[in-house]
A and B are shown apart, each in its own frame.
Chain A
Amino acid sequence: MSGGMERRGFLKAVGAGGAGAALAGCATDKVESLIPYVTAPEEITPGVATWYASVCGECASGCGIRVRTREGRAVMIEGNPDHPLSKGGLCSRGVAALQGLYHPDRLAAPRRAVAGGFEDISWDEALDALAERLGGASRALFLTGRQGPAEGDLLNRFVEAVGGTRLTFDPLDDVALRAAVDIGFGVKALPRYDIASARQLVSFGADFLETWLSPTAFAADFAAMHGLDHGEKGRFVFVGPRLSLTGQNADEWIPARPGSEADIALAIAGELVRNGTSAGPYTELVAGRSLAAAAAAAGVAEGALAALAVRFAEGGVLALGPGLAGSHGAAAAANLAVLVLNAAAGNVGETIHIPDAPDREAASPHGDLVEALSMMRDGAYGVAVTAGANPAYALPPAAGFREAFGAVPYKVALASVMDETAAMADLVLPVAHPLESWGDSEPAPGAYAVRQPVMSPVPLFDSRATGDVLIETGRRLGHDFGAASLREHVRAAAETRLDALGVSAEDGEVRWHSLLRTGTAAAAGSAASGSPASASAPAARRALQAPNTAAGFGAPALEGAGDLALLVHPSARFGDGTHADRPWLRELPDPVSKIMWQSWVEMNPAAAERAGIRREGEIVRVSSEHGALELPVWFSPGIREDAVAIAMGGGHENHGDFASGLANDNGVNPMTLLPAAADEQSGALSLVSVRVTVSPTGAWERLASTEGTRDAQHHQDDRRIALAVAMSALGHGEEDAGEHEGGHGQLQELQEGGGFIPVPTEGRAADFPLPGSDFGEYGQEHPRWAMVVDLDKCTGCSACVTACQAENNIPWVGERETQNGREMHWLRLERYYETVDAAEAGPLDVRFLPMLCQHCNNAPCEPVCPVFAAYHTPDGLNAQVYNRCVGTRYCANNCPYKVRVFNWYRYVSENVKEPLNWQFNPDVTVRDNGVMEKCTFCVQRIREAGNRASVEGREVRDGEIRTACQSVCPSEAIVFGNVKDPESAVALAAADERSYRVLDELINTQPAVHYLKKATFHDVDEGGH
């Protein structure tokens, strides 16, 4: 109010708004048209959603998705529960595929480079030009991303037909692991891990809940392994220098030095061997390894490793990794060491399966790329074609890609937006989004999934699928690939695949449509002996083979003179940077640091103090021999003092306005600090290869963070928000607050008097409305919607945050506004470090809590609203009526959970450019400025289910309503339903002995959201009551 606005003036302004609103309600000059179909498509009923099963194309994992379309437009993506790997879960990047589909920066037409820029041309011209070049005498190089089986096959045939060379580029593929499997087991394939069947889990740094191999599938399996079930859960130990989100979910952290994975793994294998197990041809090698030496190399206490070895000896302990976190100069050796450990622990054939056949699509080792780059520079290639790959951004500049690519006479890029590689090309072909294209995937042996377009291509962008471009170009060159379109090609591939799986083919059309309906097909009963369906049986147990070269297992050397190892890691939000142009993902708080929009360097506060850095947000200079970057520092208790970490994905120069810095801070690209070094054995590009120095610059920037606490330890202090209970305290028949009946005397008295008064009482969500307050519609006959979130299963992945944003038309507000704390997420993933020590191995306790409107039965926000915009519905929702709201924000001030958000500016009308607004959910009002909003428990889904049930003359079934957050959660940590029905899943979960409600005991808000305490192996202060 310092600007001189007095209260009276403020009320006048609001009053004028109200009058305007009343007028607007009366009449308007705007004439609207109702545009019908000329011929109606059979599958579309206006106002009713049509769902399509498909395969997500955002990364190579290929999770199953179900896409909700309305009137022919995709509006929401959820997981496909029928999918054998992802089992109904989805990650934030998968949900945000919608923003890739409707991205305003997508290419509208093919482009040709002309002096000083590009000009749009027609597809015919473009394909003619491409065919002419490929048909010429010069050799062609194809640099593409990993494809599904059908498209990959088409691509390989095309490359062969035109006499070209194909390299596969995917910075997130685990090249070193595949090489290690080749050395150890003789097959160039990634192993399949069965995390769900493991009793305990040890990750040597692999971020399997974020980007490694198939994170959504792993998250589901991890929940099954690690989630508390009948008083038991599997332990998870994380070994590595930095706690990624995956690491934060561990029960124990061994903060080992980067590059010490092999030492630790082999030493533990040595212990196992000394106990009588075998590590095959490596038995002798590991027997010579001692825990003491490994502990010295890793910089941790020997006792911690000995304890880990004891666990392995107990059996059923699966070792993972080290993944890209161990992508250093001895990456293949580190991976091999972990495989040797798994072999010694007897996991091969049990929880880790080595496939029989090599992977069809595998990223080429960096060494192959280096060779191709030198050939490019030497003029060996007349044409270079990139598709689904952006090496000009994703490779370290030291690799010299730009110079080499620039030397090729004719460069073609198949891309969706003008990324760094496309910007260098002579011809740019706009690629259709995976949601508009055909394709397939092989999620597991004996399973098949098909990708189908969920809508006709967005008409603003004249794009074509890569496969269609190949077929069309092939036709011009006289090559016939046996299909007139990608659709035909995929269908033919699918039919072949279904035959091989033994899926009955009485009627080909029926079988095909059944595949399209469910999105997946599995091998028919594997009992049929001799049929190819036996592919579904677990791969044969394989034995470790002797290495053909002497395995060194030496520690990797880090280059440079600095005192801090630089850990470059994939981003849980942007992957390798491909998704940095999605505003939802840019504004999604990073699951680890909770920072939005900006790049940051993660640093232990003790190391920062030594470097003279005093506060978080100070701009520091990180320099290696290859470059220097200036970026703000974030203090993390989850990183060793001798390392700093920077996530990939920032610092784009092109790739659309949101990524390149036209619309906001674009961050920095850590690849500029790296040499283009690779592991010699596998050729995997090293991400951990340099030492850096970090020095303060004196400047400071406010971090765009959702964290309320600014202390470097990120504790929740004595606030009882995210609670945990020791396993040892469970199952003693302790009385739970949720089981008390009655006890509402004082509250009832107060409610009859009206208003909210914080007094301590006991009660259950199902008891409301209390007798005495059930007047009018407020009777006992209504359901009471409630939610239970299992904090023991929640991994903090934040997919729910993005799903909520997509479902509820929640705008993003941009970097500046998030710095002001004005982000509008209805659901916030809180993260608190409770027990963490980067100096020595020990128990770890990082808590996650999805905080959304608690739908309090005794809500503090309701009585303070002067216009009754915040009120309680008869079915227990804390409702917000947008058309009543005048924006006083009293409700937000009175909310103890900080879950109400206010639209300060025209975030919707100014930020959401055409056609991003096509994604809006037509069932939810689009709010603009001046209105308070918050989680509605997806009331639109509740009403839709209610309408359907009412028309069918029945009650809403338990489980029929799934909120958006629940519908993507890979861990199935969220349960929603009617808590008044004692048989409902939510009522049963709410009665669990771990059940509690946040802050309820202090202020008696009687929330409808229950949390189940995280279960820890070590004792915690908050355990019990």
Chain B
Amino acid sequence: MLELSGVSKRVGRDNHISDVSLTFERGSINVLLGPTLAGKTTLMRLMAGLDKPTGGEIRIDGKSVVGLPVRKRNVAMVYQQFINYPGFTVYENIASPMRLAKVDRATLDRKVKEAARILKLEPYLDRMPLELSGGQQQRTAIARALVKGAELVLLDEPLANLDYKLREELRVELPRIFAETGAVFVYATTEPQEALLLGGHTATMSEGRITQFGNTIDVYNRPADLSTAQIFSDPPLNVVNVTKRGRELTFGEISLGQASDTSLTDDRYVAAVRPHHLSLVPGGRHSVAVTATVGTSEITGSETFIHVSVGGNRWVVLTQGVHRVNSGEVITVYMDPATLYLFTEQGMLVQAPEFAGIGG
């Protein structure tokens, strides 16, 4: 069990990490989700012991490890860049932590071969890392982290520099590979999809703070505040300042339908809707029509992203199928008020879509 309580890291006058408290269980998958510069890497370096926190406590199984140098800790780390020892063969690269731990030759050989098999590196064991492709190099780094049998495994955007297909493959395999070792598995990523795919628990990070930590699905469905919702949405969340009067939500002259929570006081709120909840066709009887001006549109695979302007707010509509819309065209976008998130002006969640699972 890894516990962080009130951990902070100041560099000069800047707070890189402020007051982070988290608890990760053994054998659990934990995702650190946040945009670049949110402090994910810094936090991982603190967990690994590569850097010392300027405040707070880090405990492993109840024992403080703040003063413990990294080489005395049982951690493994995989970086975004493919980091291997260029002078060692792939075999020696994987074997390196066990050589230092003085593991006997037979066990070492067996473990290296096993890791190579899992990560499909068997044909390359005698090669040098720089003779391999990026994906193979990263798999070597992952294999080295695997054989160590560390109690804390940190992966810092390990798949960010890999090509699409390999990412898909490893993304599914990684949690499974490490789950068997019973380690605390921490995975940093900028991509909400990756967090959802990995499952487990997610901590969303923004500007060195944890905005929310909980079951990944819960964090996605019921983000505690606006910044969490924004971090956990790709393409970006569509946000608009609204006024609630009676049950009616309006911004400017445009009506966004009715708030589902009747107990909510009349006030100004921030409404947010995920891009895939907007549609070009009316869907159901509660659906509300909003007029939008098209900026640009991009087609990826079988989906179309339409960037529109709604009453001066920049929104993204994600629709299935390939659509042709021209820049400057005025279109009608439909949304179901039931899919709206409402936040206070301070950004706290007051209403989540009804379908969003509660608890569990």
A and B pair up: no
| B interface residues with partner A (beta carbon < 8 Å) | none
| A interface residues with partner B (beta carbon < 8 Å) | none
